[in-house]
Structure formats: structure tokens, C-alpha cells
Structure 1
Amino acid sequence: MIHYHAAAPQYSIGHLDSAIEHLEQVLSLEGANSLFSKTYWRGRVVQALATPGLAPCQHSRLQRLLERIAQS
């Protein structure tokens, strides 16, 4: 399991599922090597992971995204 820490959360729990869906779509279609760098995408996922009240299923989805970024 990969662990990262973010300085401050950017996402609210009410909008987190749509943010995760967006990240999943972008990273599956374009990959982490798209217009933005792996560092950018990792930062976005890490910010989402820092959201207070994160559900276990959301955490799992975000961890999978981090693994996808690391493997790309």
C-alpha cells in the first residue's frame, strides 16, 4: 500500500465521489503521462486522500489511482 500525505485538503466530502470519478476517467483514458505530469496527478489524488470523513471505499479507489500512477 502506498501512503502519501497532503498539507491541506482541497475537496469536500460532498463532492469527493465526483472528483474520484473524474480522476479515474482521466487516468484511465490519458494515463498519468497526459498533458500534466505524474507529480500533478499524484498531488490531486493525495489532496483527495486528505479529505476529512473519507469512506473506506473512497480510500480504496484513491489508493488504486496512486498505484496506477506509480505503474505508468
Structure 2
Amino acid sequence: MNYDYAGPHPYSASHLDSAIEHLEQVLSLEGANSLFSQTYWRGRVVQALATPGLAPSQHNRLKRLLDRIAQA
């Protein structure tokens, strides 16, 4: 799937869970309208979604984060 991210992949699938956990914490505590804009948080999640070799559970968690951002 293409998530419109053309930059380098800063994550590997094996180390992505900690990044997802961080995003989940920040977006649940501060919300998508915190210090940073929705565009910033969406970009971070899309960047993670573009990581090669995502496990289905990682993909699902990231999609839920995108949904949370869209609803904010």
C-alpha cells in the first residue's frame, strides 16, 4: 500500500512497536491537536506505515492512529 511517504524509512518492522507505542501515548494524552498539528502527527504515522515488512498488528494499530487523528 502507498501512504504517500517518499523519504527514507527511519524504522524497521522489528523496532517499530516502540515508535507505535510512543505515538499511541502522545495522541491519547495530548490528542492530535496538541503542540504539533494534525499534519505533523499524520506524517509521523504515515512514515511508520511505509515501513517495509509491517506485521498485521502493527498496520492495524497505525491505521487506528490515523483514524484518531482524522476524528480530532
What is the aligned-residue identity percentage?
80
For the aligned residues, what is the CA RMSD?
Answer: 1.2
Task: Using the TM superposition, give the Cα deviation of residue 18 of structure 1 relative to its aligned residue in structure 2, in angstroms.
Answer: 0.2
Q: Distance in 2 between matches of 1:10 and 1:38?
A: 20
Aligned to 1:58: 58
Counterpart AA for 1:30: E
Task: Kindly report structure 1 stretches of 4+ aligned residues shifted beyond 4 Å.
Answer: none
Aligned to 1:5: 4
Q: Distance in 2 between matches of 1:31 and 1:4?
A: 22
Task: Using the TM superposition, give the Cα deviation of residue 4 of structure 1 relative to its aligned residue in structure 2, in angstroms.
Answer: 3.0
TM-score relative to the length of structure 2: 0.90
CA contact (8 A) 2:45 2:62 kept: yes
Counterpart AA for 2:6: A
**SS of match in other structure, 1:45:** helix
TM-score relative to the length of structure 1: 0.90
Aligned to 2:35: 35
Q: Which runs of 5+ in 1 are unaligned?
A: none
**SS of match in other structure, 1:16:** helix
Q: Which runs of 5+ in 2 are unaligned?
A: none
Q: Distance in 1 between matches of 2:53 and 2:3?
A: 17
Q: Distance in 2 between matches of 1:56 and 1:13?
A: 11
